[in-house]
Amino acid sequence: MHVPGKIAVVGGGPAGAFVAAQLARSGREVLLFDEKLAWEKPCGGGLTDKAIARWPFLREAAAERNWISHCELIAPSGRGVSFRLDCQIAIFSRKVLNGLLLERACQAGAQFCPGSHQTVQIKFLKELYGYIWVFPRADHFSVGICGRMQGMNTAGLRRVLDDSLPEFGLSLEGARFYAHIIPSLTVKALGRPISGNGWAMIGDAAGFVDAITGEGIYYSLRSAELLANAIEQDAPEKYSAFVQEDFLPELEHASRIAGRFYGGKWMGRPVVERMLQLTVRSKSFRELMRDLFAGTQEYSDLRERVQRSLPRIGAETLVSMFWQPSRTLFPLRSRE
């Protein structure tokens, strides 16, 4: 495949800004097109330890962020669990994060072409494949809701969010509302071409989003890095294979099990309810949850790990129920 001397990157989000920076740094002439460039958007802005470890500049840059060390999960029933994270999550304002990435691209030599125009809380919802998030940023809260657009439009999602905010002691007075479609794809859609002669898609444009959590920033940055690597090798046709080898199977696994996660049952109870119960009762299960939030536990190995650990999880749960029968979900929380 021919590699043009001048490369156009359409979209200045995390993926676009990242690939523009890497290609410009390698000596390519890069034009970065975006209507808004650095702007706020409806996204929690969380970066897992996996992302921070892969790209240390995200930790080292002089950018405003909040480091999170605890997580609180709330089931549709209103019961929940709070637990400490082994690896911190960094919460950025999306405007700050995009500004950081765009500045890197500019410093590397990319040319901009603008258009003319400490505890995170997650609540799962009944009959909705999604959740409400409350992420504390450096000087404000990012509060939002995500769910499938099947039988529920944007206005309906906002009503659910409005009705739920009093539970968190928050109100929308003076807040600005944003809406954005998350490209969470089916397994079949993830198999469509992401590149061709003279073009390639990365990040949201390619649908690289975790169908369970809605996380897309890591996959935006990683797909941008993989495309830049392929172009730097003068072999952009390798990009699709790089993605397939690196993270696409993980997104396919997430897409396959998302329906069961939000709508299925596990050991006689809704999956989310059972998951939270075991997080309270079992140290081994809490370790699994911490690894999921750190981004180090892959979905492809999740079922095998649960099955392998099930005897220990069961024993820990029984011991906990015998010695601490009053230990339960909120208002008594696990703080280990």
- Walk along the chain (336 residues) and give the pLDDT tens digit of each residue: 556 678 999 888 889 999 999 999 999 999 998 876 666 666 677 888 899 999 999 888 888 888 988 888 888 888 888 888 888 889 888 888 888 898 999 999 998 887 644 677 788 877 677 788 887 776 777 888 877 766 677 788 888 888 888 877 777 777 777 777 778 888 999 999 999 999 999 999 999 999 888 888 899 999 999 999 999 999 999 999 999 999 999 999 999 988 888 888 888 888 888 888 899 889 999 999 999 888 888 888 888 999 999 999 999 888 887 776 555 544 434 444
**CATH number for region 6-250:** 3.50.50.60
- Do β-strands 119-124 and 66-74 pair in parallel, antiparallel, or remain unpaired? parallel
Please choose, from the candidates 113, 215, 123, 196, the residue with its C-alpha nearest in 3D space to the C-alpha of residue 160: 123
Q: Kindly give the interhelix angle for 299-323 and 283-294, rounded to the nearest 10 degrees.
A: 150
What's this model's pTM, rounded to 2 decimal places?
0.74
Domain regions of the chain by residue span: 6-250, 264-323
What gap in Å lies between CA 235 and CA 121, rounded to an integer? 43
